Amino acid sequence: MRYILRRLGFYLVAAWAAVTLNFFLPRLMPGDPATALFARFRGQLSPEAMEALRETFGLTEAPLVKQYLTYLGHILRGDMGISVAYFPSEVSGVIATGLLWTILIAGTAVVVSFAIGTTLGIIAASRRGGWLDNVLPSVLIFVGSFPYFWLAMVVLFIMGFTLRWFPLGHAYSDNLTPSLSLEFISSVLTHAFLPVATVVVATLGGWLLSMRNNMVSVLGSDYVNLARAKGLKPARVIMRYAARNALLPSVTGFGMALGYILGGSLLTEIVFSYPGQGYLLVQAVRNQDYPLMQGIFLMITLAVLGANLIIDVVYLWLDPRTREIGR
Amino acid sequence: MNEPILKIENLSVDYVTGETLVRAVDRVSLDVKPGEIVGLAGESGCGKTTLAKAILRILPPPAIITGGKIEYRGKNILEINEGELRKLRWQKISIVFQSAMNALNPVIRIGEQITDVILAHKSVSPDEAYDRASQLLEMVGIHPIHLNSYSHQLSGGMRQRVCIALALALEPDIVIMDEPTTALDVIVEREILNQIKDLQARLGFSVIYITHDLARLLQFSHRLAILYAAHIAEIAPAQELQENPLHPYTQKLMRAMPSLVPSEVKPETIPGTPPSLASPPPGCRFHPRCDRAIEICQREKPPLVEKATNHLVACHLAS
Amino acid sequence: MKTNSQETTASIWVEAIRKDRKATAGAIIIGIFLLIAIVGPFFVGDPHEPVGIPLQPPSRSHLLGTTGQGQDVLAQVVVGTRMSLAIGFCVGIIVVMVGALIGITAGFFGGWVDSVLSLLINVFLVIPGLPLAIVIAAYLPSGPLTLGLVLVITGWAWNARVLRAQTLSVRRRDFVAAAVVTGESSLRIVSREILPTMTSLIVAQIIGSTVYAIGAQVGLEFLGLGDVATVTWGTNLYWAQNDSALLMGAWWTFVPTGLCIALVGFGLTMLNSGFDEITNPRLRLERVWRAFLGGLGRPPEPSTPVVRIAE
């Protein structure tokens, strides 16, 4: 438990760092931070509304510390200001609509890719040779060298525009309203397939290679040798004695790669006009909608921190040695 | 007559390093009789651990076995298939590694690491396997509650006892022990050695005991083989070797041991270092460090010849 | 017969690359692209100028077709190579320098310095890079400097983490401990004793960071956060997406650029594959062992193979 509490403490620090970064960024830029932050609101907002917005971001005449505390207070209450691109919606509301879609795409892709890539890595290391070990890793590394969004463009071009096997964009058919009907769910699945598949294909090679390399070192260890000497079945030696241990560094890597993959997944959303955070992000960039951009940044950071906490719990369960720490 | 159950003949093992091969075990012959404790002594890097692991064919890459045979009850281990090999492993020959810390899987409970070998070889229920595992732990003086422990929760001595219990799980004919006490302090070491001796007397298995500690071996084993730079230098019964060492290397080893020389005499050291196996000297491998080396020692490898009953030595001076 | 140490190191590198088939292939790919980046722009026309009808498929006069603005795609790809590689390599080097400065400082001094810097490293590792880069880049005037700055801010932490761990392990070795005891200055110990043990790691990190820098740069530019008036691989893709290349079926406007990005990334990764074996020596053992058995027509086996060559 001590371990989890310590990790939790660290994530709180990280979240605080992200919020603080958000607060200081506009103030570090040349000129009046409010000008930078609200440039696009000119003429759109009444002076009173403008005042309220300044208040949210703590952009008052008050001393910096007081501004900062005001800002923290608003963030803690979930108030991240008003979006320019989706004026006059609140940033928090705009983000909430897209968050689920992003988690659906990125979450599914990351889990599927990790599972398949890791399994392939185990097979590649245990077969020792064959095309799976010699050719497949290079092919997958090559595929993984393309920008995710570029793969998305090609996939969409072939499977969507040319072959017409999959829809061209959005999260579900325009003529449907969200419901728990079979029709709606299948529509969501067919719309999610290409974005997920793109990210899976792009990230597979990395997982395969890291698991294969971990396996090669673990297969040379004493405890795997002893398991072989025990005359256990090869499958048991590989899975229970080698893969189980080789998985540990991969799980750590999983946590660290999460943010990176999420970034790629956001760009993929743009190509598929998928209504997640990535799509919102591009709207925000185009409209210089700083409040929305910062809100998305915060939200994604929190999501990644949450996912990392889950990974820590999984790690705790996988490695009994972690449970002893701090006892 | 006491026929050997394990016969190693002209065994060679090489490590693949880039373009060349490095021979870590060179045409070594050794046999083990039922109930016998055979000691294998040599400096680190002389090939003793390689030899031990080659018997079970569990040397990891880049090792390859390049010649000879290893016969267990007349069956050549180097020629049987994976399935037969699996049946022979642990059931007939088991092994205790040098470092119990590394030999036990850190993320699997001790209990499972013992029961899985029982379940793999015997047709018993998981409950029976568990009971057997408890007995085994008790036999080496560990409370069965530790079946639920992970290796990091045990002390160094306990871990090594677990490994010994594990090695005896299937009552094998031969147990290979590769420096099982190096990582332990002297008191724990003595306890464990007594325990091994005790168990060996009770259960009657053979032991191949590997260590760099010649003094320990002289007390502990029936017969000894001295290994120098991948070659066997001398093989003799323990008492014979102690009283009449023939190889200059053995003699120097004896004089280098504080416990074997009278306390008023200072133990000697052997000048020089063991040769690199990648570029061993020609002829007798010990000649650069041997103060009695003669001309032939630089040219010809001395053959292993029987000088007295069961006393074999590879030295030009002895013949 | 005295060669200076610099030359020897260089020849070791060349040797290491030559020995590894993958590394050789990677080096060739990167060499070709460097050549394109340096001399290529002199052989193609102005990438900005409209030279034909927009969205023409590849033809004899425009080998890779034209963009939505009627510009020559080949010219854009070639000119884009120069800018993208320049930013990629520069950022790759700076990212490692920043990472080395912070990581080695943390590992060498230990104590509270390490605690603070480690926390900083870990926070930057866990905060997702792309959204952070976007937020920072959006406030700054667009251009290569901004791009470089945000890529460094979001990319240094990984290198710092690895180098910190490496410094910790080197610091424990006898020769460093001896230098500390004899009272040599920290700067001297780091530059004379510690850094030389890490050269291969640092080179590997520069290559890896360049892959990161090119990928992230392309991503940010695709979002429109670069200077969309300059020609780079990222802006090429930005314009392709903006001009609805997919809808128009104009695959030639984005396929060549994407292939170039992938080839460079792949080439650098292959070049780096040789370094995997430095950090994980078992990989090399396994490889030579397999190669040896393969040469004898033998498949690798789980049990120690018997190859009768001693008799």
Does the structure show a pLDDT above 60 at A77? yes
Residues of C in Cβ contact (< 8 Å) with B70: none
Q: How many domains does chain B divide into?
A: 1
* Nearest CA distance, C8 vs chain B (angstrom): 21
C3-19: pLDDT as tens digits: 444 556 667 677 777 77
- Specify the pLDDT at position C292: 87
Closest CA to A192 of A162, A172, A165, A164: A172
Q: Beginning with the edge strand found earlier in the chain, give each strand of the sheet holding B63-72 in spatial order.
A: B20-32, B6-17, B63-72, B75-76
Secondary structure letter of residue B147 according to DSSP: G
> Per residue in B197-223, pLDDT tens?
888 888 889 999 998 888 888 888 899
Q: Chain B contacts of A231, Cβ < 8 Å?
A: 85-91, 117, 120-121
Specify the pLDDT at position C261.
92
C78 — pLDDT class (breaks 50, 70, 90): confident
**pLDDT, averaged across chain A:** 82
Task: Sketch the domain layout of chain A as residue ranges.
Answer: 97-289+303-317
Per CB-CB distance under 8 Å, the chain A contacts of C127 are: 14, 17-18, 259, 301, 304
Mean pLDDT over B211-239 rounds to 88
Percent of chain C clearing pLDDT 90 (strictly above): 15
Q: Which residues pair with B75 in a beta bridge?
A: B72
Two structure tokens written together for B240: 């014979």
Burial C115-153 (b: 16+ CB within 10 A, else e): eebbeebbbbbbbbbbbbbbbbbbbbebebebbbbbbbb
pLDDT at C302 over 90: no
pLDDT at C297 over 90: no
Q: Summarize pLDDT for A15-35 with one digit per residue, the tens.
A: 999 988 888 887 777 666 566
Poorest-pLDDT segment among A66-80, B137-151, C62-76: C62-76
Query: Does residue C247 sit at the A interface (CB-CB below 8 Å)?
Result: yes
Q: Which two tokens stand for residue A293?
A: 């951009």
Question: Where do we find the tokens 């990167």?
Answer: C30
User: What is the average pLDDT across A313-325?
Assistant: 81
Angle at C88 between CA C82 and CA C93, to 5 degrees: 130
pLDDT over 80 (residue A251): yes
Beta-carbon contacts of A198 under 8 Å, excluding residues fewer than 6 positions away, are A109, A148, A151, A152, A155, A268
- At A248, phi and psi to the nearest 5? -55, -55
* Residue to substitute from A146, A230, A254, interface C, most C β-carbons within 10 A: A146
Among A280-284, A286-290, B280-284, C262-266, the range scoring the smallest mean pLDDT is A286-290
CA C79 → CA A245, B5, C46, C147, distances in Å?
Answer: 48, 76, 9, 18
Question: What residues are paired with B209 via a beta bridge?
Answer: B39, B177
Is 60 exceeded by the pLDDT of residue B1?
Answer: no
pLDDT at C3: 41
Mark yes or no for CB contact B103/A226 under 8 Å.
yes
Q: Write down the pLDDT at residue C73.
A: 75
Asked if the structure places residue B264 within a domain, the reply is no
Task: Give the pLDDT score at B295.
Answer: 86
> Span B102-122, mean pLDDT?
92
pLDDT of res. A112: 93
Length of chain A as a residue count: 327
Span C132-149, pLDDT tens digits: 888 888 888 878 888 889
Task: Read off the pLDDT of each residue in A277-284 and give the average, rounded to a whole number.
Answer: 84
- Residue B57: which of C292, C304, C311 has the nearest Cβ? C304
The per-residue pLDDT for C2 is 38
> Mean of the pLDDT values across residues A257-268?
85
- For position B43, which CATH number holds? 3.40.50.300
Instruction: Select from B65, B69, B85 the residue whose CB has the most chain C CBs within 10 Å, as the one to mutate to test that interface.
Output: B65
Q: Is the ipTM of this complex over 0.90?
A: no
Residue C95: is its pLDDT beyond 90? yes
The per-residue pLDDT for B264 is 67
Q: Can you give the pLDDT at residue B294?
A: 85
CATH number of the domain located at residue range(s) A97-289+303-317 in this protein: 1.10.3720.10
Across C256-280, average pLDDT? 83
Mean local confidence (pLDDT), C115-120: 90
Is B83 in the A-facing interface, judged by CB distances under 8 Å?
no
A14, C126: Cβ pair inside 8 Å?
A: yes
Q: How far, in Å, CA of C42 to CA of C21, rounded?
A: 32
Q: Which residues pair with B13 in a beta bridge?
A: B25, B65
DSSP A249-298: HHHHHHHHHHHHHHHHHHHHHHHTT--SHHHHHHHHHHTT-HHHHHHHHH
User: Mean pLDDT across chain B, nearest whole number?
Assistant: 87
Closest partner CB to B58 (pick from A229, A233, A320):
A229
Least confident of A302-306, B126-130, C271-275: C271-275
Please give the pLDDT value at position A43: 64
> DSSP string covering C149-207, please?
HHHHHHHHHHHHHHHHHHHHHHHTSHHHHHHHHTT--HHHIIIIIIGGGGHHHHHHHHH
What's the CA gap between B287 and B293, in Å, rounded?
6
Q: Which pLDDT does position A23 carry in this prediction?
A: 84
Domain around B46: 6-258+270-308
pLDDT at B276: 83
Chain segment A191-233, per-residue pLDDT in tens: 878 889 999 998 998 899 889 888 988 988 899 999 999 999 8
pLDDT for res A170: 76
| pLDDT score of A185 more than 90 | no
Which pLDDT does position B175 carry in this prediction? 93
Buried b vs exposed e over B209-220: b needs ≥16 C-beta within 10 Å?
Answer: bbbbbbbbbbeb
* pLDDT band at B176; cut points 50, 70, 90: very high
For B64, the enclosing helix (H) or strand (E) is strand B63-72
- Other residues' Cβ atoms within 10 Å of the Cβ of residue C170: 20
The per-residue pLDDT for C1 is: 35
* Residue at B263 is within a domain: no
The rounded distance, in Å, linking the Cα atoms of A49 and A81 is 11
| Res B126: pLDDT | 93
Rounded CA gap, A138 and C36, in Å? 24
Residue B22's φ and ψ, nearest 5 degrees, are: -115, 120
For chain B, where are the alpha helices, taking DSSP H only? 48-56, 82-88, 100-103, 110-121, 126-139, 156-167, 186-203, 214-220, 238-243, 248-255
Among the ranges given (A39-53, A197-211, C205-219, C259-273), the one the predictor scored with the smallest mean pLDDT: A39-53
Nearest to B16 among C292, C306, C311 (CB): C292
Percent of chain B surpassing pLDDT 90: 35
The helix/strand/coil state of B233 is strand
Smallest CA–CA distance from C126 into chain A, residue: A256
Contact check, Cβ <8 Å, C127/A282: no
